[in-house]
Amino acid sequence: MPAESATPLEVLRDVKQQLRSVPNRGIGYGLLRYLSGRADVVDQLAQAAQAEVRFNYLGQVDRFIASSKLFAGALPISAEAQSPNGDRGYLLNIIGSVTGGELRFDWTYSDNIHARNTIQSLAETCVAELRALLADSETSSAVFAVADFPKANLSEGDLDKILAKFRT
Q: What is the pLDDT of residues 52-88, one digit of tens each?
A: 999 998 888 877 655 656 655 555 555 555 666 777 7
Tens digit of pLDDT for each residue in 111-127?
999 999 999 999 999 99
Q: What pTM does this model have?
A: 0.69
Per-residue pLDDT tens for 146-163? Answer: 888 888 888 888 888 887
Q: What are phi and psi of 101, to 5 degrees?
A: 75, 10
Q: To the nearest 10°, report the CA torsion of 49, 54, 55, 59.
A: 110
Alpha-helix residue ranges (DSSP H) falling in 1-140 = 8-20, 27-30, 39-46, 61-66, 116-137
**DSSP β-bridge partners for residue 104:** 97
Q: How many angstroms separate the CA atoms of 50 and 46, rounded?
A: 9
Query: Can you give the pLDDT at residue 142?
Result: 61
Q: Which residues pair with 56 in a beta bridge?
A: 95
